[in-house]
Amino acid sequence: MPDAPLTPVDVLVLGGGAAGLSAALSLGRSRRTVRVLDAGDPRNATSPHAHNLLTHDGTPPAALLAAGRDEVARYGVEVVTARVVAARTVDVPGDAGWDGAGSEDAGSSGAGSDDAGPDGAGHEPVLEVRTADGGTHRARRLVVATGMRDVLPDVPGLRERWGRDVLHCPYCHGWEVRDRRLAVLATGPRAVHAALLVRQLSADVTLLTHDAFAPDAEQSADLAARGVRVVAGRVTAVRVEDDALTGLVPADGDVVPCDAVFVGTRAVLDDAVVDGLGLQTTALDFLGEDVGRAVAVDATGATSVPGVWAAGNVTGPQHALAASIAAGSLAGAHVNASLVTADVAAARAATRP
């Protein structure tokens, strides 16, 4: 027999990074019962410091999250270390359960027992998730804030330097490597844009095409005008000395010396959560390059599935910490508003003769 669901809550927040904790803060302060389920591996975990975050510039990522957890705890939010391995909307009554073998009536869970849907009309959803440790959790609303995984080009040694001197974003880490020997490792045509951004930080920039694309005449002219060197061909290794990047090794030709390399990544989502819930996603195209997918949301963070909101990098890889915190806060407020609407409808139904 599967474990019985733990006490249902108003809102389950999946993922306790910047976006998830921010949503939880809005919701906890609105006196909602909130449980955050977090696997504990945020996207920027390997970075020594987070930057470009007003009032917290230069703070280590783990310290930011520890402060966030302390803040949400003040409002009764539970943060549980757990990985969600499945998520779904429960159909009541007669739900077939995770394995199709039947489950208890979700109506007895106490979650979602009124008539109003998230828009104030119709069926109120019951959302259920299962965690790797066998736990089952139910709620009236979900905020999906599971972030994304960065898939890097397949160059031996690159992943080991990720967040240190293999960098994803000039706004987050560019200042720290200003005036150094910088490289851009291409994954496609967006590398031209990246190289021109990086050129703002240093006069010594080399773009390595890595056989991912070849700059056209216009792109070559732009790069040449700004003095960006272009090296064609595959990169086969990174050179590291005294625990610091010193160069990129092409298959043919000389090592390209560099102190840091910027690289684009592909955004991979948590399929178990995103596809389990049936959330609509959008294919991401950046300057002609396929860079993954993101959960589609409206301006409030609402997804295509009733009762489910999403915020942060799960909705797009470009959201840095400030944007993820903002999106989480907004989603939390709209989730609370949808519960207020549902509570009003339930109260009115209860007073009907």
Ligand X SMILES: Cc1cc2nc3c(=O)[nH]c(=O)nc-3n(C[C@H](O)[C@H](O)[C@H](O)COP(=O)(O)OP(=O)(O)OC[C@H]3O[C@@H](n4cnc5c(N)ncnc54)[C@H](O)[C@@H]3O)c2cc1C
Residues near ligand X (CB under 6 A) are: 14-20, 37-44, 46-47, 50-53, 83-84, 145-147, 150, 162-163, 168, 172, 270, 273, 312-313, 319-322, 324
DSSP 8-state secondary structure symbol assigned to residue 88:
E
CB of 230 to ligand X, least distance (A): 25
Residue 67 or 214 having the CB closest to ligand X = 67
Residue 13 or 235 having the CB closest to ligand X = 13
Residue 69 or 123 having the CB closest to ligand X = 69
Q: Identify the CA nearest to 337 among candidates 120, 162, 190.
A: 120
DSSP 8-state secondary structure symbol assigned to residue 230:
E
CB of 37 to ligand X, least distance (A): 5
Residue 114 or 259 having the CB closest to ligand X = 259
CB of 97 to ligand X, least distance (A): 20
CB of 36 to ligand X, least distance (A): 9
Q: How far apart are CA 145 and CA 27, in angstroms?
A: 14
Contact 184, 195 (CB under 8 A): yes
Residue 146: CA count within 13 A, CB half-sphere: 25
Q: How far apart are CA 312 and CA 317, in angstroms?
A: 8
DSSP string, 119-139: TSSSPPPEEEEEETTS-EEEE
Q: Provide the CA 233 distance to its chain's centre, in angstroms.
A: 32
Contact 328, 300 (CB under 8 A): no
Residue 140 or 173 having the CB closest to ligand X = 173
Residue 212 or 321 having the CB closest to ligand X = 321
**Strand (E) or helix (H) holding 271:** helix 271-277
CB of 245 to ligand X, least distance (A): 14
Contact 79, 65 (CB under 8 A): no
CB of 135 to ligand X, least distance (A): 11
